[in-house]
Amino acid sequence: MNKIQTSDLVIKSIKIKPVDIGLTDAFTISQGSVETAENAFIEISLQSGIKGYGEIAPFEELSGENRDFCVKTAEKLKDHLTGKPVSNFIRLSRIIKEAAPDQPAPLCGYEMAILDAFSRSLGISFWELFGGRRIEGLQTDITIPILEYQRSLELAEEWHKKGFNTLKIKVGSDFDREVKLVQHINDIIPGIRFIIDANQGFEVDEAILFIRELEKKKCDVILFEQPVHKNDIEGMKKIKNTIEVPLAADETVFTVQDALEVIKNEAADVINLKIMKSGIIDTLEIASLTLSAGLKLMIGGMVESRLAMGCSLAVAQVVDGITFFDLDTPILMSEDPLAGGYAYDGPLMIPNDEPGLGITPKVFQ
Ligand SMILES: [Mg+2]
């Protein structure tokens, strides 16, 4: 086998293409609504001719980033990265953070493309680059956003028929209606499990009461996500110490420092990893810290296509110790702008073995 030369791994050129991806239903949460995923794909070409791909998937209401802003940043970053080898990916990650601080979505998109190009160059899968392994049988939940009441019921039944046994219900906008909805779903689909995600929509007392109301009807709530404002560490702690259901911090944790705060203050039982909040390298660090501290992990995403979500599946195969999987947004899309990669069989995620992530945006084919 010929040794790979570092000069082959040098970034020769970068392309960025915005992409609009349709959704079957509007993705509405307590903080805002997305009708079309306004994302962008990155293509990095190396001197060797090998290419790597990344996705930028901002959710403005959650991270303050929108696509225009992210694409402008990504364009600006081209000069900082061109001419450097992808094998220096930790250094490249720092360069991006210094040139564009607090912009996790472009950081994530670039890290994805850099690591995809590097693992493709080595002829190994993305998770192998970090010592991970192929994991079969991982299952995702499925999200029911805030929709018209009947539509929510209809979707719950449809997903259950397709084999999904964990529904993630978005709440935090209309307490009585949402209590009724979850109880109603529990009545018509016996044995169904729930993840309840309020996206910061509750006050502390409401959050506790919400779970109490579901307990009265014996709803099987396996996780309660981010009930209160992301900065309300004390509120999170109070809820965690009052309810039996495990509490997950999502919007509270973007950075490694945020994860340390949650751990130090015992403010959650679970941390929800999202590469689009933290970038890939820091997501791996947050995962290590969280598991070391004895907390559990969830992995989710913004409104991402199979490229970014495939990267999260690869991250899950590296971390190898995640309890809750919320990698469902490609299933909520009305189109698939990608070729190759992992597949869904109902809730089951079937990993692929091609080098890198093995996924190519059709816009670059
Ligand atoms: Mg969440």
* Domain assignments of the chain as residue spans, ordered by start: 6-123, 129-364
Expressed in angstroms and rounded, the spacing between residue 273 Cα and the centre of ligand 1 is: 10
Expressed in angstroms and rounded, the spacing between residue 174 Cα and the centre of ligand 1 is: 17
Name the DSSP letter for residue 5.
P
Whether 6-123 shares its CATH topology with 129-364 is answered no
Q: How far apart are CA 76 and CA 73, in angstroms?
A: 5
Expressed in angstroms and rounded, the spacing between residue 226 Cα and the centre of ligand 1 is: 6
Expressed in angstroms and rounded, the spacing between residue 97 Cα and the centre of ligand 1 is: 24
Expressed in angstroms and rounded, the spacing between residue 248 Cα and the centre of ligand 1 is: 8
Expressed in angstroms and rounded, the spacing between residue 79 Cα and the centre of ligand 1 is: 34
Expressed in angstroms and rounded, the spacing between residue 274 Cα and the centre of ligand 1 is: 9
Q: 193 has which bridge partners? A: 166, 220
Expressed in angstroms and rounded, the spacing between residue 112 Cα and the centre of ligand 1 is: 22
Expressed in angstroms and rounded, the spacing between residue 171 Cα and the centre of ligand 1 is: 10
Say how many C-beta atoms besides its own lie within 10 A of residue 298's C-beta: 23
Q: Does residue 130 contact residue 287 with C-beta atoms inside 8 Å? A: no
Say how many C-beta atoms besides its own lie within 10 A of residue 130's C-beta: 16
Expressed in angstroms and rounded, the spacing between residue 190 Cα and the centre of ligand 1 is: 25
Q: Does residue 143 contact residue 331 with C-beta atoms inside 8 Å? A: no
**Given this model, what pLDDT does residue 63 score?**
87
pTM listed for this prediction: 0.97
From 361, 365, 354, select the one nearest 123 (Cα to Cα): 354
Expressed in angstroms and rounded, the spacing between residue 15 Cα and the centre of ligand 1 is: 31
Expressed in angstroms and rounded, the spacing between residue 251 Cα and the centre of ligand 1 is: 7
Q: Does residue 93 contact residue 45 with C-beta atoms inside 8 Å? A: no
Expressed in angstroms and rounded, the spacing between residue 91 Cα and the centre of ligand 1 is: 30
Q: Does residue 54 contact residue 120 with C-beta atoms inside 8 Å? A: no
Q: How far apart are CA 203 and CA 208, in angstroms?
A: 9
**Given this model, what pLDDT does residue 61 score?**
87
**DSSP H or E stretch at residue 228:** none
Q: Which amino acid is at 69?
A: F
**Given this model, what pLDDT does residue 260 score?**
98
For ligand 1, an ion, list residues with CB under 5 A.
Answer: 197, 225, 250
Q: Which class does domain 129-364 fall in? A: alpha beta
Expressed in angstroms and rounded, the spacing between residue 57 Cα and the centre of ligand 1 is: 15
Q: Does residue 9 contact residue 85 with C-beta atoms inside 8 Å? A: yes
154-199 pLDDT tens trace: 999 999 999 999 999 999 999 999 999 999 999 999 999 999 999 9
Expressed in angstroms and rounded, the spacing between residue 199 Cα and the centre of ligand 1 is: 6
Expressed in angstroms and rounded, the spacing between residue 47 Cα and the centre of ligand 1 is: 40
Q: How far apart are CA 100 and CA 50, in angstroms?
A: 26
Pick the CATH number of 6-123 from 1.10.10.60, 2.60.40.10, 3.30.390.10, 3.20.20.60: 3.30.390.10
Show the low-confidence residues of the chain (pLDDT under 70).
1
Q: How far apart are CA 342 and CA 357, in angstroms?
A: 8
Expressed in angstroms and rounded, the spacing between residue 16 Cα and the centre of ligand 1 is: 28
